[in-house]
Each structure stands twice: as C-alpha cells, then as structure tokens.
Amino acid sequence: MIMGSFGRYVVETTHDHGTHPARSRGRGRRGAGRNGTRQARSANRFASVKVADAVALAGHEVHVCRYREARTLLRWLGQDEDRDGDLSGLRVLDVAGGDGYWAGQARKRGARAVALDLATPKLSRGSQFARPPALIEGDALRLPFQDASFDRVMSICAIEHFDDGEKALDEMARVLTPGGELVMSADSLTLAEHWPNLYRAHCDRYHVKRTYSHQELTSLLAARGLAVLEYRYQFRSRRAQQMYLGLSAYGGKFGFNAAAPATPLVAASDRAARGDGGAIVLVRARREGPHEGPREGRHAANQGGTAHR
C-alpha cells in the first residue's frame, strides 16, 4: 500500500503490473508456453482473491453480532436525507479496521475509504480482496492524518481495547471535518455484574480495558465538540447479554460465527426489550461546525445490532 497526498491512494497488487513488451513477443511453442503459464498464474491469482473475499464475508457477516452492528453503522454513514445511503465522494476512515472488510463495504457505496490498523497480518489479508480500501498501518492513538481529513470516521467495537480510549477519541475528533460524523460501537455490558466470571473471561480473552455506556460516550464526545445524534443498544435483554458473554468466554474461535442462526432471535429480543442497556452500544455523533451549536441526541426508536468479536 502506497499513500501519496491524502485522498489519493494507490493499491499495488499483482494485477496492477503490466506485462513488459519484451516478454510478450514469444514465438512458436516457446511463446505459447509462456503465455499459457502467465494465463494460469493470472487465473490462480484471481481465484485466490475470490477465496479471500469469501473467507472475509463469512468471518465478518456470518456472525451473530457483527452483521447487525456493522451494517447499522454503515447505514448511519449515509444517513443524511440527501444521500439515502450513498457515500459517493465522502472520505471515510475505519479506525482499527482490521483487514479493511467494512471499509471495503463503504467503498462499494462510493466512499474514498481507508482502513487503519496496527496488525500487519490483517492488512496483508485485506490486500488480497478484489476491491480493497486503502490499507494503512498505524496507531489509533496517533492517527497519521492531518486535521479535518475525513468526512466520516467509523470504529467498530475497538475503543474498549485501547490503552487510552479518550486519546483515541481525541484523534478521531481531530481528523473529522466540521460537520463530519463519527459512527462507533463499544462494549457496554450493562449487566456484567450478574456474571463476574464470564465478564472476567471475556475481558481476558479480548483484552478489554473498560466498557462504555451511551451516557459516558455522550459526555466524552461532547468534550471533544461532537454531539450525539442517536444511539442504540444490542443484546439488550438479560438472557441476550448472558449469551454474548458466554460465547465470548467459551465459544472458541468461531463461537460467534456458529451462533449466526440466532441473529433473528436476538434482533427480536432487542426490539421487545425495555429500557436502556445491552452488551453493545452504537453511537452516531456529529462534529460541530463553525456555526453549529450543541444538538440533543435521540434514542433510536428501533433497537437492533451486533458486536466486534
């Protein structure tokens, strides 16, 4: 991945390099053999890219949490009335975006999308996608971008893993343009005290530093000039939160994926639950522009969502 001036990213893959003219002039059997070999290699590379996309889709979307969670955040990215989900021309950053799968979904909707992560192996996997976003190795606590570089910032269940979540929020706010929006999710686990052993196992396994309620995030974001427009919880009922912690603590590497058939049941449970609280909180906030005052956030009327496991 090469990053030039911001907004112009060049992704180097094996498909991007043209064939040298001197190597395309083979004659007779020898030339045909070389062409055949090149065609076979190209076919193999194409197949590997398709496998990478399929594996990523299964890992990210066949998932009892992630599908609803990330899809909600993606929808919020294009929530403006004049956009109706279209992200064309918007500069979108996914902080701690892993292999870039969800930034890639934003790109499919027209965004100039960037995924940033510290994990080189994840970024390498993302570079094998058919249409990867720009993939940048970097630290969420020191974003390598100028102020006001992005129209939208997204972060999917990442902040709870950071050593300094407030510093990460500082950086996300810094790179947002005035009037730009942040959509994010975080572990909230508002009933965790009922299952202390499960909670400890969850935190140990996923290196969770702390959890966040919507009230805490609203306060933290307001201190950085962002007003919460809406929020919602997922895995809202007592039983759903216990299920979430149990899958996290003892479900193994693919527990959340294996539980994907339960997604409609969890969504129905979320809709029926009363009051605030849940295993995961989703927030949409806007950075105040030069002439904007604070806005009052609203609770999403229709609850539903997912998690970053």
Encode pLDDT of 151-175 as tens digits.
999 999 999 999 999 999 999 999 9
pLDDT band at 70 (very low <50, low <70, confident <90, very high): very high
Cβ-Cβ contacts under 8 Å for 43 (sequence gap 6 or more): none
Mean pLDDT over 203-216 rounds to: 96
pLDDT for residue 301: 39
181 pLDDT above the threshold of 60: yes
- Please state at what angle helix 263-272 crosses helix 238-250, rounded to 10 degrees: 150
pLDDT for residue 81: 55
pLDDT for residue 25: 32
pLDDT for residue 114: 98
CA atoms within a 13 Å half-sphere pointing along the CA-CB vector of 270: 28
pLDDT for residue 82: 64
pLDDT for residue 37: 52
Amino acid identity at 186: A
- Of 129-143, 212-226, 253-267, 278-292, which gets the smallest average pLDDT? 278-292
Mean pLDDT over 80-95 rounds to: 85
CA atoms within a 13 Å half-sphere pointing along the CA-CB vector of 222: 13
pTM for the predicted model, two decimal places? 0.79
Comparing C-alpha atoms, which of 275, 306, 282, 140 is closest to residue 218?
Answer: 282
Residues 242, 244, 245: CA angle, nearest 5 degrees: 65
pLDDT band at 64 (very low <50, low <70, confident <90, very high): very high
Beta bridge partners of 184: 155, 283
pLDDT for residue 288: 87
pLDDT band at 308 (very low <50, low <70, confident <90, very high): very low
Q: Are 261 and 151 in contact (CB under 8 A)?
A: no
pLDDT for residue 92: 98
